[in-house]
Structure 1
Protein backbone atom coordinates (compact mmCIF):
# COMPACT_ATOMS: atom_id res chain seq x y z
CA UNK A 1 0.00 0.00 0.00
CA UNK A 2 1.19 3.52 -0.78
CA UNK A 3 0.26 6.30 1.64
CA UNK A 4 0.76 9.89 0.46
CA UNK A 5 0.73 12.95 2.71
CA UNK A 6 2.49 16.16 3.71
CA UNK A 7 4.87 17.36 6.39
CA UNK A 8 2.67 19.09 8.95
CA UNK A 9 -0.96 20.13 8.55
CA UNK A 10 -0.75 23.84 9.30
CA UNK A 11 0.58 25.34 6.05
CA UNK A 12 -1.65 24.01 3.29
CA UNK A 13 -4.47 26.49 2.51
CA UNK A 14 -5.70 24.39 -0.42
CA UNK A 15 -7.10 21.74 1.93
CA UNK A 16 -8.91 23.83 4.56
CA UNK A 17 -12.69 24.16 4.64
CA UNK A 18 -13.20 25.63 8.08
CA UNK A 19 -11.95 28.94 9.46
CA UNK A 20 -10.76 27.73 12.88
CA UNK A 21 -7.10 26.80 13.15
CA UNK A 22 -8.14 23.97 15.50
CA UNK A 23 -9.94 22.33 12.58
CA UNK A 24 -6.97 22.25 10.20
CA UNK A 25 -6.07 18.65 11.01
CA UNK A 26 -9.68 17.54 10.53
CA UNK A 27 -9.73 19.15 7.10
CA UNK A 28 -6.31 17.78 6.24
CA UNK A 29 -7.43 14.24 7.12
CA UNK A 30 -10.21 14.49 4.53
CA UNK A 31 -7.52 14.68 1.82
CA UNK A 32 -4.61 12.54 3.02
CA UNK A 33 -4.20 9.35 5.11
CA UNK A 34 -0.86 10.22 6.72
CA UNK A 35 1.00 13.26 8.04
CA UNK A 36 4.37 14.09 9.47
CA UNK A 37 4.06 15.46 12.99
CA UNK A 38 6.90 17.94 13.29
CA UNK A 39 5.86 19.72 16.50
CA UNK A 40 7.50 16.80 18.33
CA UNK A 41 10.88 17.89 16.95
CA UNK A 42 10.74 21.25 18.72
CA UNK A 43 9.28 19.98 22.01
CA UNK A 44 8.17 16.64 23.40
CA UNK A 45 4.40 16.91 23.17
CA UNK A 46 1.93 16.37 25.96
CA UNK A 47 -0.29 13.30 25.87
CA UNK A 48 -3.23 15.71 25.88
CA UNK A 49 -2.12 17.11 22.50
CA UNK A 50 -1.59 13.64 21.13
CA UNK A 51 -5.05 12.54 22.30
CA UNK A 52 -6.65 15.54 20.59
CA UNK A 53 -4.88 14.74 17.32
CA UNK A 54 -5.95 11.11 17.58
CA UNK A 55 -9.56 12.21 18.07
CA UNK A 56 -9.39 14.60 15.11
CA UNK A 57 -8.48 11.87 12.61
CA UNK A 58 -10.08 8.70 11.17
CA UNK A 59 -9.27 5.29 12.63
CA UNK A 60 -6.92 4.39 9.78
CA UNK A 61 -4.97 7.67 9.88
CA UNK A 62 -1.20 7.46 10.50
CA UNK A 63 1.28 9.87 12.09
CA UNK A 64 4.96 9.91 11.26
CA UNK A 65 6.46 11.54 14.33
CA UNK A 66 9.74 13.41 14.09
CA UNK A 67 12.13 12.55 16.90
CA UNK A 68 12.79 15.36 19.39
CA UNK A 69 15.73 17.57 18.46
CA UNK A 70 17.61 16.64 21.63
CA UNK A 71 17.57 13.04 20.42
CA UNK A 72 18.98 13.83 16.97
CA UNK A 73 21.75 16.27 17.85
CA UNK A 74 19.99 19.45 16.72
CA UNK A 75 19.52 20.78 20.27
CA UNK A 76 21.54 23.91 21.02
CA UNK A 77 22.90 23.90 24.52
CA UNK A 78 21.98 21.41 27.21
CA UNK A 79 18.91 19.21 26.90
CA UNK A 80 16.10 20.14 29.34
CA UNK A 81 16.21 16.73 31.02
CA UNK A 82 18.30 15.20 33.79
CA UNK A 83 19.73 12.59 31.40
CA UNK A 84 19.45 11.18 27.90
CA UNK A 85 17.56 8.22 29.34
CA UNK A 86 14.97 10.55 30.88
CA UNK A 87 14.59 12.37 27.57
CA UNK A 88 13.95 9.16 25.65
CA UNK A 89 11.50 7.94 28.30
CA UNK A 90 9.55 11.21 28.15
CA UNK A 91 9.37 10.95 24.37
CA UNK A 92 8.03 7.38 24.50
CA UNK A 93 5.42 8.37 27.06
CA UNK A 94 4.22 11.18 24.81
CA UNK A 95 3.52 8.64 22.06
CA UNK A 96 1.16 6.47 24.14
CA UNK A 97 -2.09 7.82 22.63
CA UNK A 98 -0.76 7.16 19.11
CA UNK A 99 0.49 3.69 20.01
CA UNK A 100 -2.72 2.66 21.77
CA UNK A 101 -4.90 3.93 18.91
CA UNK A 102 -2.77 2.21 16.26
CA UNK A 103 -2.00 5.55 14.63
CA UNK A 104 1.78 5.60 15.06
CA UNK A 105 3.17 4.97 11.59
CA UNK A 106 6.78 5.43 12.67
CA UNK A 107 9.22 7.70 14.47
CA UNK A 108 11.55 9.58 12.12
CA UNK A 109 15.14 10.24 13.20
CA UNK A 110 16.36 12.95 10.86
CA UNK A 111 20.01 13.59 11.62
CA UNK A 112 21.71 16.93 10.82
CA UNK A 113 24.17 17.57 7.96
CA UNK A 114 27.21 17.33 10.27
CA UNK A 115 26.21 13.80 11.36
CA UNK A 116 28.62 11.96 9.09
CA UNK A 117 29.53 8.31 8.74
CA UNK A 118 31.88 7.55 11.62
CA UNK A 119 31.99 5.00 14.45
CA UNK A 120 30.74 7.37 17.17
CA UNK A 121 27.62 8.14 15.12
CA UNK A 122 27.03 4.49 14.26
CA UNK A 123 27.20 3.74 17.99
CA UNK A 124 24.73 6.53 18.73
CA UNK A 125 22.25 5.11 16.21
CA UNK A 126 22.50 1.79 18.05
CA UNK A 127 21.88 3.65 21.33
CA UNK A 128 18.68 5.20 19.89
CA UNK A 129 17.48 1.82 18.69
CA UNK A 130 18.03 0.25 22.10
CA UNK A 131 16.00 2.97 23.81
CA UNK A 132 13.08 2.64 21.37
CA UNK A 133 13.41 -0.97 20.26
CA UNK A 134 9.67 -1.72 20.37
CA UNK A 135 8.74 1.14 18.03
CA UNK A 136 8.92 1.40 14.22
CA UNK A 137 11.88 3.70 13.57
CA UNK A 138 12.94 5.40 10.36
CA UNK A 139 16.20 7.16 9.69
CA UNK A 140 17.15 10.01 7.38
CA UNK A 141 20.72 11.10 6.83
CA UNK A 142 21.69 14.53 5.56
CA UNK A 143 25.37 13.86 5.07
CA UNK A 144 26.32 12.07 1.87
CA UNK A 145 29.25 10.18 3.41
CA UNK A 146 26.74 7.49 4.44
CA UNK A 147 26.16 6.80 0.73
CA UNK A 148 29.68 7.30 -0.56
CA UNK A 149 31.24 4.49 -2.58
CA UNK A 150 33.19 3.42 0.51
CA UNK A 151 30.20 3.19 2.86
CA UNK A 152 26.94 2.83 0.90
CA UNK A 153 26.70 -0.97 1.00
CA UNK A 154 27.68 -1.07 4.67
CA UNK A 155 25.16 1.66 5.52
CA UNK A 156 22.35 -0.30 3.85
CA UNK A 157 23.45 -3.53 5.56
CA UNK A 158 23.64 -1.78 8.94
CA UNK A 159 20.09 -0.42 8.57
CA UNK A 160 18.80 -3.82 7.48
CA UNK A 161 20.34 -5.58 10.47
CA UNK A 162 18.90 -2.96 12.81
CA UNK A 163 15.48 -3.18 11.12
CA UNK A 164 15.51 0.57 10.50
CA UNK A 165 12.99 1.98 8.02
CA UNK A 166 14.95 3.70 5.27
CA UNK A 167 14.06 7.29 4.43
CA UNK A 168 14.59 7.70 0.69
CA UNK A 169 14.91 11.37 -0.20
CA UNK A 170 14.47 13.56 -3.24
CA UNK A 171 16.42 16.73 -2.54
CA UNK A 172 18.87 19.14 -4.20
CA UNK A 173 22.32 17.72 -4.89
CA UNK A 174 24.28 20.47 -3.21
CA UNK A 175 27.42 18.92 -1.77
CA UNK A 176 28.14 16.99 1.39
CA UNK A 177 25.01 18.21 3.18
CA UNK A 178 22.66 16.45 0.78
CA UNK A 179 22.10 12.81 -0.08
CA UNK A 180 21.39 11.05 -3.38
CA UNK A 181 18.26 9.06 -4.17
CA UNK A 182 18.89 5.56 -2.81
CA UNK A 183 15.71 3.57 -3.60
CA UNK A 184 16.44 0.63 -1.33
CA UNK A 185 14.14 -0.74 1.38
CA UNK A 186 15.85 -1.84 4.58
CA UNK A 187 12.68 -2.95 6.38
CA UNK A 188 10.19 -5.49 5.00
CA UNK A 189 7.19 -3.66 6.43
CA UNK A 190 7.76 -0.06 5.42
CA UNK A 191 9.84 2.49 3.52
CA UNK A 192 9.60 6.26 3.87
CA UNK A 193 10.01 8.63 0.90
CA UNK A 194 10.39 12.38 1.49
CA UNK A 195 10.19 15.02 -1.22
CA UNK A 196 12.17 18.10 -0.18
CA UNK A 197 12.15 19.85 -3.56
CA UNK A 198 15.12 20.59 -5.80
CA UNK A 199 15.94 24.18 -4.94
CA UNK A 200 19.73 23.87 -5.14
CA UNK A 201 20.45 27.54 -4.40
CA UNK A 202 18.09 27.61 -1.41
CA UNK A 203 19.27 24.33 0.11
CA UNK A 204 22.49 25.68 1.62
CA UNK A 205 21.39 29.28 2.11
CA UNK A 206 22.20 30.77 5.50
CA UNK A 207 19.99 33.17 7.39
CA UNK A 208 17.38 33.36 10.11
CA UNK A 209 15.31 30.22 10.66
CA UNK A 210 12.04 31.47 9.17
CA UNK A 211 13.58 32.92 6.02
CA UNK A 212 15.85 29.89 5.59
CA UNK A 213 12.91 27.49 5.57
CA UNK A 214 10.90 29.67 3.18
CA UNK A 215 13.70 29.63 0.62
CA UNK A 216 14.92 26.08 1.10
CA UNK A 217 11.59 24.36 0.47
CA UNK A 218 10.37 26.65 -2.33
CA UNK A 219 9.91 24.25 -5.22
CA UNK A 220 7.18 22.76 -7.40
CA UNK A 221 7.71 19.36 -9.01
CA UNK A 222 6.71 19.14 -12.66
CA UNK A 223 4.91 16.18 -14.18
CA UNK A 224 8.02 14.68 -15.72
CA UNK A 225 9.78 14.65 -12.35
CA UNK A 226 6.81 12.97 -10.71
CA UNK A 227 6.54 10.44 -13.54
CA UNK A 228 10.18 9.48 -12.96
CA UNK A 229 9.26 8.82 -9.34
CA UNK A 230 6.33 6.60 -10.30
CA UNK A 231 8.85 4.08 -11.61
CA UNK A 232 11.08 4.43 -8.55
CA UNK A 233 8.13 3.97 -6.19
CA UNK A 234 7.04 0.80 -7.94
CA UNK A 235 10.56 -0.55 -7.44
CA UNK A 236 10.45 0.31 -3.73
CA UNK A 237 6.97 -1.16 -3.38
CA UNK A 238 8.32 -4.54 -4.46
CA UNK A 239 10.76 -4.42 -1.53
CA UNK A 240 8.47 -3.47 1.36
CA UNK A 241 4.80 -3.92 2.18
CA UNK A 242 3.98 -0.24 2.69
CA UNK A 243 5.48 2.93 1.25
CA UNK A 244 4.87 6.24 3.03
CA UNK A 245 5.38 9.39 0.95
CA UNK A 246 5.66 12.90 2.39
CA UNK A 247 5.94 16.15 0.45
CA UNK A 248 8.00 18.76 2.28
CA UNK A 249 8.07 21.46 -0.44
CA UNK A 250 5.67 23.57 1.61
CA UNK A 251 6.84 27.17 1.54
CA UNK A 252 5.24 28.09 -1.79
CA UNK A 253 2.06 26.09 -1.26
CA UNK A 254 3.14 23.41 -3.76
CA UNK A 255 3.16 20.35 -1.49
CA UNK A 256 -0.56 19.58 -1.50
CA UNK A 257 -0.87 20.04 -5.27
CA UNK A 258 2.17 17.84 -5.95
CA UNK A 259 0.86 15.15 -3.59
CA UNK A 260 -2.55 15.15 -5.32
CA UNK A 261 -0.85 15.00 -8.71
CA UNK A 262 1.22 11.98 -7.67
CA UNK A 263 -1.94 10.29 -6.39
CA UNK A 264 -3.47 10.75 -9.85
CA UNK A 265 -0.39 9.38 -11.60
CA UNK A 266 -0.42 6.33 -9.31
CA UNK A 267 -4.21 5.99 -9.69
CA UNK A 268 -4.73 6.09 -5.93
CA UNK A 269 -8.13 6.93 -4.46
CA UNK A 270 -8.30 6.62 -0.68
CA UNK A 271 -11.69 5.48 0.60
CA UNK A 272 -11.33 5.83 4.37
CA UNK A 273 -10.54 9.52 4.73
CA UNK A 274 -12.38 11.94 6.99
CA UNK A 275 -15.62 13.37 5.69
CA UNK A 276 -15.38 16.71 3.92
CA UNK A 277 -18.85 17.65 5.12
CA UNK A 278 -18.78 20.79 7.25
CA UNK A 279 -19.73 20.50 10.90
CA UNK A 280 -22.91 22.58 11.20
CA UNK A 281 -23.49 22.22 14.96
Structure 2
Protein backbone atom coordinates (compact mmCIF):
# COMPACT_ATOMS: atom_id res chain seq x y z
CA UNK A 1 0.00 0.00 0.00
CA UNK A 2 1.34 3.43 -0.98
CA UNK A 3 0.17 6.54 0.90
CA UNK A 4 0.85 9.89 -0.78
CA UNK A 5 1.23 13.35 0.68
CA UNK A 6 3.42 16.44 0.80
CA UNK A 7 5.82 18.02 3.28
CA UNK A 8 3.50 20.66 4.65
CA UNK A 9 -0.05 21.48 3.58
CA UNK A 10 0.32 22.49 -0.07
CA UNK A 11 -3.28 23.75 -0.28
CA UNK A 12 -6.12 24.66 2.08
CA UNK A 13 -6.43 21.98 4.77
CA UNK A 14 -10.03 21.02 4.00
CA UNK A 15 -9.11 20.46 0.36
CA UNK A 16 -5.87 18.72 1.28
CA UNK A 17 -7.66 16.22 3.51
CA UNK A 18 -9.85 15.24 0.56
CA UNK A 19 -6.97 14.88 -1.89
CA UNK A 20 -4.25 13.12 0.11
CA UNK A 21 -3.68 10.24 2.52
CA UNK A 22 -1.06 11.79 4.79
CA UNK A 23 0.90 14.95 5.57
CA UNK A 24 4.31 15.64 7.06
CA UNK A 25 3.77 18.69 9.26
CA UNK A 26 6.62 21.16 8.78
CA UNK A 27 5.55 23.92 11.17
CA UNK A 28 6.61 21.81 14.17
CA UNK A 29 10.22 22.02 12.97
CA UNK A 30 10.35 25.82 12.83
CA UNK A 31 8.05 26.81 15.69
CA UNK A 32 6.48 25.46 18.83
CA UNK A 33 2.75 25.21 18.12
CA UNK A 34 -0.22 25.50 20.45
CA UNK A 35 -1.83 22.24 21.49
CA UNK A 36 -5.30 23.51 20.54
CA UNK A 37 -4.11 24.13 16.96
CA UNK A 38 -2.84 20.56 16.56
CA UNK A 39 -5.98 19.07 18.12
CA UNK A 40 -8.09 21.11 15.71
CA UNK A 41 -6.16 19.72 12.72
CA UNK A 42 -6.69 16.18 14.00
CA UNK A 43 -10.41 16.83 14.38
CA UNK A 44 -10.66 18.29 10.87
CA UNK A 45 -8.92 15.31 9.26
CA UNK A 46 -10.55 12.02 8.23
CA UNK A 47 -10.23 9.27 10.84
CA UNK A 48 -7.88 7.20 8.66
CA UNK A 49 -5.65 10.16 7.71
CA UNK A 50 -1.99 9.84 8.77
CA UNK A 51 0.02 12.64 10.36
CA UNK A 52 3.80 12.74 10.54
CA UNK A 53 5.50 15.61 12.32
CA UNK A 54 8.98 16.96 11.85
CA UNK A 55 10.84 17.14 15.17
CA UNK A 56 11.59 20.66 16.40
CA UNK A 57 14.92 22.00 15.16
CA UNK A 58 16.22 22.28 18.73
CA UNK A 59 16.65 18.50 18.59
CA UNK A 60 18.54 18.45 15.30
CA UNK A 61 19.97 21.80 14.22
CA UNK A 62 22.80 23.74 15.89
CA UNK A 63 22.33 27.41 16.91
CA UNK A 64 24.15 28.70 13.81
CA UNK A 65 21.63 27.08 11.44
CA UNK A 66 19.77 29.68 9.31
CA UNK A 67 16.54 27.79 10.02
CA UNK A 68 16.42 29.41 13.48
CA UNK A 69 15.56 32.76 11.87
CA UNK A 70 12.01 31.47 11.40
CA UNK A 71 11.65 30.19 14.96
CA UNK A 72 9.59 31.58 17.82
CA UNK A 73 12.27 30.30 20.22
CA UNK A 74 15.83 31.56 20.69
CA UNK A 75 18.38 28.73 20.60
CA UNK A 76 20.81 28.06 23.42
CA UNK A 77 24.41 27.02 22.83
CA UNK A 78 23.78 23.30 23.32
CA UNK A 79 20.92 22.61 20.93
CA UNK A 80 20.82 20.27 17.96
CA UNK A 81 22.77 17.29 16.55
CA UNK A 82 21.07 14.85 18.96
CA UNK A 83 23.34 16.02 21.77
CA UNK A 84 22.13 14.52 25.07
CA UNK A 85 21.82 17.97 26.66
CA UNK A 86 18.99 19.32 28.81
CA UNK A 87 17.98 21.70 25.97
CA UNK A 88 17.76 18.94 23.34
CA UNK A 89 15.85 16.64 25.70
CA UNK A 90 13.46 19.50 26.53
CA UNK A 91 12.70 20.10 22.86
CA UNK A 92 12.20 16.38 22.29
CA UNK A 93 9.59 16.31 25.07
CA UNK A 94 7.82 19.22 23.38
CA UNK A 95 7.88 17.31 20.08
CA UNK A 96 6.34 14.27 21.79
CA UNK A 97 3.54 16.39 23.26
CA UNK A 98 2.81 17.89 19.85
CA UNK A 99 2.77 14.44 18.25
CA UNK A 100 0.30 13.26 20.90
CA UNK A 101 -1.96 16.27 20.39
CA UNK A 102 -1.97 15.65 16.65
CA UNK A 103 -2.47 11.90 16.93
CA UNK A 104 0.61 11.46 14.74
CA UNK A 105 1.98 8.11 13.66
CA UNK A 106 5.50 9.26 12.75
CA UNK A 107 8.10 11.66 14.11
CA UNK A 108 10.65 12.65 11.48
CA UNK A 109 14.16 13.50 12.67
CA UNK A 110 15.81 15.31 9.76
CA UNK A 111 19.47 15.84 10.51
CA UNK A 112 21.60 18.50 8.79
CA UNK A 113 24.84 17.90 6.94
CA UNK A 114 26.68 19.19 10.01
CA UNK A 115 25.62 15.94 11.73
CA UNK A 116 28.58 14.19 10.17
CA UNK A 117 29.22 10.48 9.89
CA UNK A 118 31.55 10.08 12.87
CA UNK A 119 31.93 8.25 16.15
CA UNK A 120 30.98 11.47 17.93
CA UNK A 121 27.63 11.49 16.12
CA UNK A 122 27.05 7.81 16.94
CA UNK A 123 27.94 8.47 20.57
CA UNK A 124 25.52 11.42 20.77
CA UNK A 125 22.77 9.38 19.10
CA UNK A 126 23.32 6.39 21.39
CA UNK A 127 22.98 8.55 24.51
CA UNK A 128 20.03 10.46 23.03
CA UNK A 129 18.00 7.38 22.14
CA UNK A 130 18.74 5.78 25.52
CA UNK A 131 17.50 8.86 27.36
CA UNK A 132 14.35 9.76 25.41
CA UNK A 133 10.87 8.30 25.37
CA UNK A 134 9.43 7.15 22.07
CA UNK A 135 5.96 6.20 23.31
CA UNK A 136 4.13 4.50 20.41
CA UNK A 137 5.50 6.74 17.65
CA UNK A 138 7.48 5.39 14.72
CA UNK A 139 10.73 7.33 14.39
CA UNK A 140 11.98 8.09 10.88
CA UNK A 141 15.47 9.55 10.37
CA UNK A 142 16.88 11.36 7.33
CA UNK A 143 20.70 11.43 7.29
CA UNK A 144 22.39 13.65 4.72
CA UNK A 145 25.84 13.03 3.27
CA UNK A 146 26.30 9.64 4.95
CA UNK A 147 27.57 6.44 3.33
CA UNK A 148 25.21 3.50 2.96
CA UNK A 149 27.34 1.60 5.48
CA UNK A 150 26.96 4.39 8.04
CA UNK A 151 23.21 4.70 7.45
CA UNK A 152 22.70 0.94 7.79
CA UNK A 153 24.61 0.94 11.07
CA UNK A 154 22.62 3.93 12.38
CA UNK A 155 19.14 2.63 11.58
CA UNK A 156 20.09 -0.83 12.84
CA UNK A 157 21.54 0.31 16.15
CA UNK A 158 18.77 2.77 16.96
CA UNK A 159 15.79 0.93 15.45
CA UNK A 160 14.57 3.78 13.26
CA UNK A 161 13.15 4.03 9.72
CA UNK A 162 15.67 5.00 7.05
CA UNK A 163 14.22 7.95 5.12
CA UNK A 164 15.38 8.10 1.53
CA UNK A 165 14.58 9.29 -1.98
CA UNK A 166 13.60 6.25 -4.10
CA UNK A 167 15.36 7.77 -7.13
CA UNK A 168 18.62 7.76 -5.14
CA UNK A 169 18.78 4.49 -3.20
CA UNK A 170 16.88 1.63 -1.59
CA UNK A 171 15.95 2.07 2.10
CA UNK A 172 18.34 0.23 4.41
CA UNK A 173 16.12 -0.66 7.38
CA UNK A 174 14.47 -4.04 7.88
CA UNK A 175 11.00 -2.96 9.00
CA UNK A 176 7.62 -3.28 7.37
CA UNK A 177 7.05 0.46 6.86
CA UNK A 178 8.94 2.65 4.38
CA UNK A 179 9.14 6.45 4.44
CA UNK A 180 10.24 8.41 1.36
CA UNK A 181 10.90 12.14 0.85
CA UNK A 182 11.17 13.62 -2.66
CA UNK A 183 13.02 16.94 -2.63
CA UNK A 184 13.58 17.45 -6.36
CA UNK A 185 16.77 16.84 -8.32
CA UNK A 186 20.40 16.75 -7.26
CA UNK A 187 23.36 18.62 -8.72
CA UNK A 188 26.89 18.24 -7.35
CA UNK A 189 25.59 17.09 -3.99
CA UNK A 190 23.07 19.95 -3.74
CA UNK A 191 19.29 19.61 -3.67
CA UNK A 192 17.49 21.63 -6.34
CA UNK A 193 13.98 22.01 -4.91
CA UNK A 194 12.77 23.92 -7.99
CA UNK A 195 11.83 20.83 -9.94
CA UNK A 196 8.77 19.23 -11.52
CA UNK A 197 8.89 15.47 -11.83
CA UNK A 198 8.43 13.99 -15.29
CA UNK A 199 6.03 11.13 -15.97
CA UNK A 200 9.08 8.90 -16.42
CA UNK A 201 10.46 9.88 -13.01
CA UNK A 202 7.12 9.30 -11.30
CA UNK A 203 6.75 5.91 -12.96
CA UNK A 204 10.25 4.93 -11.82
CA UNK A 205 9.37 6.01 -8.26
CA UNK A 206 6.18 3.93 -8.38
CA UNK A 207 8.00 0.85 -9.68
CA UNK A 208 10.74 1.08 -7.07
CA UNK A 209 8.44 1.72 -4.12
CA UNK A 210 6.22 -1.19 -5.12
CA UNK A 211 9.24 -3.39 -5.77
CA UNK A 212 10.84 -2.64 -2.42
CA UNK A 213 7.60 -2.56 -0.44
CA UNK A 214 7.53 -4.98 2.52
CA UNK A 215 4.32 -3.53 3.86
CA UNK A 216 3.12 0.06 3.91
CA UNK A 217 4.90 2.95 2.20
CA UNK A 218 4.57 6.70 2.67
CA UNK A 219 5.74 9.02 -0.12
CA UNK A 220 6.03 12.73 0.70
CA UNK A 221 6.82 15.31 -1.99
CA UNK A 222 8.91 18.33 -0.94
CA UNK A 223 9.75 20.00 -4.27
CA UNK A 224 8.53 23.34 -5.63
CA UNK A 225 5.71 21.67 -7.59
CA UNK A 226 4.85 19.20 -4.84
CA UNK A 227 1.07 19.56 -4.86
CA UNK A 228 0.69 18.89 -8.57
CA UNK A 229 3.31 16.13 -8.62
CA UNK A 230 1.83 14.36 -5.60
CA UNK A 231 -1.63 14.37 -7.18
CA UNK A 232 -0.22 13.00 -10.45
CA UNK A 233 1.64 10.32 -8.54
CA UNK A 234 -1.45 9.33 -6.57
CA UNK A 235 -3.40 8.83 -9.81
CA UNK A 236 -0.52 6.75 -11.17
CA UNK A 237 -0.46 4.59 -8.04
CA UNK A 238 -4.21 3.91 -8.28
CA UNK A 239 -3.86 2.86 -11.91
Which has the larger share of strand? 2
User: Would you say how many aligned residue pairs link Structure 1 and Structure 2?
Assistant: 221
Show the 5 A alignment for 1:24-103: 24-76=12-64, 77-78=75-76, 83-99=87-103
Assess if the C-alpha contact under 8 Å between 1:71 and 1:88 holds in 2.
Answer: yes
Residue 197 of structure 1 contacts residue 249 of structure 1 at CA under 8 Å; is this kept in 2?
A: yes
Pair member with larger Rg:
1
CA contact (8 A) 1:160 1:186 kept: yes
1:57-102, CA deviations, whole angstroms, 9 ceiling, x for partnerless residues? 0011111110110100244441799633322222222222234xxx
CA RMSD for the aligned pairs? 2.4
Partner of 1:193: 180
Cα deviation 1:148-202 (Å, max 9, x = unaligned): xxxx23531431342211101268xxxxxxxxx2212514231111111116389
Q: CA deviation at 1:50?
A: 1.0
State which of 194, 202, 210 in structure 2 corresponds to 1:234: 210
Could you list the structure 1 runs, at least 4 aligned residues long, displaced by more than 4 angstroms after superposition: 79-82
- Evaluate the alpha carbon distance shift between residue 53 and residue 260 of structure 1 in structure 2; reply closer, same or farther with a 3 A threshold: same
List alignment gaps of at least 5 residues for structure 1: 13-23, 172-180, 205-215, 269-281
User: What TM-score do the two structures reach when normalised by structure 2?
Assistant: 0.82
TM-score scaled by structure 1? Answer: 0.71
Partner Cα separation in structure 1 for residue 30 and residue 91 of structure 2: 13
In the TM superposition, 1:1-281 aligns within 5 A as: 1-9=1-9, 11-12=10-11, 24-76=12-64, 77-78=75-76, 83-99=87-103, 104-130=104-130, 131-134=132-135, 135-143=137-145, 146-147=146-147, 152-169=148-165, 181-198=168-185, 200=187, 203=190, 216-237=192-213, 239=214, 241-250=215-224, 254-267=225-238
Task: Report SS of the residue matched to 2:105.
Answer: strand
